[in-house]
A and B are shown apart, each in its own frame.
Chain A
């Protein structure tokens, strides 16, 4: 007997849906449930229901609020710089046309590198004493002393320094998304604007960027979500230090859970973090992306 199309579709989707329910939805449920308990870090230890106490503790803690602001600042720095550089590269490749194709491929290589390796190699470039960047800047006459800038040891700039590997890793992604978008702008439109005497800035801000808006929106939302979850690159570079100056939300939750052995508090922090991400993402999607709506 032939089953209906609708049933057949459900049958095809069921295994994946079941997998996500068991391995994503259920752990999330456990996370939220744990956030209402005071849990001893020892396996099999006591579990006491404490209501919203963990949430009060989270909001009252300076570490949590600090990590929240740092995560926001980190995300803005990463996404802004990446977007500017990615757009520049995409325009460069488009303006050079076909001849640049091989370089376009080569430019993708950072995307294949593990974030942990990227964090490691930038740490090696920026580390005090034998970091190459300070030395090169010194040799170029930009710095009086190779150690003048403590990239990873100065609390005032460390949040910016730890963002560099993330920017370096994923500029290529921004570039290729924007490049693909640029390929879809009809050539006639550019020609027409040129005949009308549009200069480069007008062309960019009046024609190219408005046409790319949907692509830009998707790229920013996707990268924003990723940057807000950054963990590997920061952990290997500074482990959140010095003085927690580079401790973002993922690191704080990880340390609260593992190092400080407070799973209840960590779960409350994780729940707040998740809700904040969902709220921001839905806001972003509904205001700037608007899937399914035409211009």
Chain B
């Protein structure tokens, strides 16, 4: 596994939301995990600090970094429990003087807020399914058959990533209204899929790359069709990879703002747009804004951290077995 191999790092880094486990595990599914782990452990002795004093210093540095990176979100949480008048107190305090759920009831009680959550979830789910349905066969076609058109296609997918959403947002929005889909979750999820599909193709390609070819050759010898071999033999092997890809597609849609701003009005508005609108529509209502931002962020933070552990566990299990 040479460092220069773009397969190793290329696909997995094409998105900004990518947990560690995927980076290190993407190219190694069960099939090729054995010596990867051994080498990693060996290496740990290489750069790992040995001296007690050095380690203490490093831990202090880590604590400082954790506070710096953790504090902004904690402050958002604390603020969301302050009384509305307290949120704009001068000078500001870190902890609420008085803990209250007022901001939460205010924010969630506002018309359109709950509906926006449903829209966000609906859009993200449709977009994730669409991404997977299109990306899984495409990535398999690219990696397994290595045709010239496949190579062109994966480069084209990379170029797609460079397109600024603002450049295609307006034409896309007018196409959707021409198709009678204006202001619907379907239209928005299609727009979000233009972002997540190239990423999903790159990710899935790296997962398929790790599956040994003998696997489906054995299946086709046993009388499976190529499609049957893909469905019954290859897909189960890369199911961990599909889960990872699904997480990224979901997050890309859940957190997206610009397309949502351009393509939704009232009916299909997602929560990021509602959060941004709090600013203009109701003056500066920081309390409600922070409460809504917290409610919107916490489920995905927890979900991703939870699933991430599962993915890591699956990979480790595969390594032990395989």
Contacts and interface: CB of A to CB of B under 8 A. Distances in A.
B172 interface: yes
B147 A186 contact: no
B163 A24 contact: yes
B175 A214 contact: no
Interface residues of A, number: 117
Contacts of B279: 236
Contact of B142 (A13, A94, A135, A211): A13
Contacts of A15: 133-134, 137-138
Contacts of B301: 109, 112-113
Interface size classification for chain B? 35 or more
Contacts of B66: 103, 106-107
B194 interface: yes
A108 B20 contact: yes
A198 to B, nearest CB: 12
Given A20-B157, A24-B194, A112 B162 contact: no
A124 B76 contact: yes
Contact of A27 (B45, B175, B254): B175
A92 B61 contact: yes
A279 B147 CA distance: 27
Contact of B297 (A12, A113, A235, A281): A113
15 contacts: A9-B145, A15-B133, A16-B201, A17-B153, A19-B193, A97-B44, A114-B254, A114-B296, A121-B290, A124-B79, A176-B19, A184-B1, A184-B39, A231-B258, A273-B164
Interface of A: 5-6, 8-13, 15-17, 19-20, 23-24, 26-28, 30-31, 34, 88-89, 91-98, 100, 103-117, 120-122, 124-125, 129-132, 135, 138, 146, 168-173, 176-177, 179-191, 211-212, 214-215, 218-219, 222-223, 225-226, 228-229, 231-232, 235-236, 249-250, 253-254, 257, 263, 266, 270-271, 273-274, 277-278, 281, 289-295
Given A91-B47, A294-B2, 14 more contacts: A24-B194, A109-B70, A115-B257, A121-B73, A124-B79, A124-B286, A172-B69, A184-B3, A184-B8, A186-B43, A232-B258, A250-B165, A290-B4, A291-B10
List of 6 A-B pairs having minimum Cβ-Cβ separation, nearest first: A187-B46, A12-B141, A190-B46, A9-B145, A16-B138, A114-B255
Interface of B: 1-4, 6, 8-10, 13-14, 16-20, 23-24, 39-40, 42-49, 54-55, 58-59, 61-62, 65-66, 69-70, 72-73, 75-76, 79, 87-92, 94, 133-135, 137-138, 140-142, 144-145, 147, 149-150, 153, 156-157, 159-168, 170-172, 174-175, 190-191, 193-194, 197-198, 201, 226, 251, 254-255, 257-258, 272, 275-276, 279, 286, 289-290, 293, 296-297, 300-301, 304-305, 308-309
